[in-house]
Amino acid sequence: MSGSAEARVRRLTHRQGPNFSLGFRVLPVAKRRAVYAAYAVCRIADDIVDEAPPGAPAGETIGKLDAWQAEIEAAYAGRPHETATRALAGVLDRFPIPKRAFFELIEGCRWDLVKNRYETFAELERYCELVAVTISDISLAIFGTVDRRAPELGRDLAIALQLTNVCRDVGEDAGRDRIYLPQDELGRFDVDEEEILACNAGPAFRELMAFQVDRARSFFRRANPLPGCIAPDSRLAVRLMGRVYATILEHIGRSPDAVLHRRVRLGPASRAGVVLAGLLRRPFAR
């Protein structure tokens, strides 16, 4: 990987993925370079959708995703053209990063162009598999594993992280006319989606969010053994990434109305607490 490509994907990761980058920083150099490259490739796919101009035809954006998938294919063939894919191609000889995972992630991005409601949790869980479990598969290929349970536990952590994103971004997604909270659960808690689109929280919304937080927390609990299944030099990174999101989830649980008005972020004290918890090998959730 050229120094220029490495520096650019590192900057992209720190700018666009501050929660992940806290964990990335403690990886060994070679693994850190690989993670930065893989993250940049994934981030660009997300940005193609998120930064599409309002009213842009879905077919036009899907065409850009198709072109990016072709560029990833070119990287695996040793013929990359873009900064991120050049960085990725430079680490593939050392890390068995599955190409399939990138392609499934792009499929999840396509879903965002044609789907803005999810009827059931099963449907949302499939979306999580596309946009988050794929990231786990990529990460585990870089981190290295020492236990056959790692892929399944990685799946649990990935779904926990994505469900945390769903909870955190309710208001932001509503601004794009997207509601990821399952429609049948809105009905169960007597929450009208117009309340969410209008960012109007009441007791029913708080009960709905408490249910969502509890479910995400259950996935964090299931993932608690994961760090022990990872190569020793990558365990702290996994602990930090998991703890960052688990802490955000707890903040949401204490103040669910906040997600309708702003993105919940961790301040310096909370981030210091995350680092301490990681160093003390505390579980993601109890």
Indicate the range of 198-202, 216-220, 247-251 predicted with least confidence.
198-202
What is the predicted pLDDT for the residue at 185? 98
The contacts of residue 169 (CB under 8 Å, 6+ apart) are: 180, 259, 263
Parts of the chain belonging to CATH 1.10.600.10: 1-114, 116-286
Both tokens of residue 50? 């998120």
Q: Is the pLDDT of residue 7 over 70?
A: no
Cβ proximity of 286 and 221 under 8 Å? yes
Q: Tokens 């930090």, residue? A: 240
Q: What's the angle, vertex CA 107, arms to CA 105 and CA 111, rounded to 5?
A: 115
Distance CA 200, CA 185 (A): 17
Query: At the topology level of CATH, where does 116-286 sit?
Result: Farnesyl Diphosphate Synthase (1.10.600)
pLDDT, tens only, 65-84: 999 999 999 999 999 999 99
Give CA–CA dist 224/221, Å, rounded: 5
Instruction: Enter the pTM of the model.
Output: 0.92
> Mean of the per-residue pLDDT values for the chain?
92
- Do the Cβ atoms of 184 and 120 come closer than 8 Å? yes
Q: What is the model's pLDDT at position 90?
A: 95
Four-CA torsion 129, 134, 136, 142, nearest 10 degrees: 170
Of the candidates 244, 229, 265, 216, the one whose C-alpha atom is nearest the C-alpha of residue 21 is 244
* Mean pLDDT (whole number) for 145-169: 97
1-114 maps to which CATH number? 1.10.600.10
pLDDT above 80 for 17: no
For residue 265, count other CB atoms closer than 10 A to its CB: 12
Question: Is 135:158 a contact under the CB 8 Å cutoff?
Answer: yes
Question: Would you state the pLDDT for residue 129?
Answer: 97
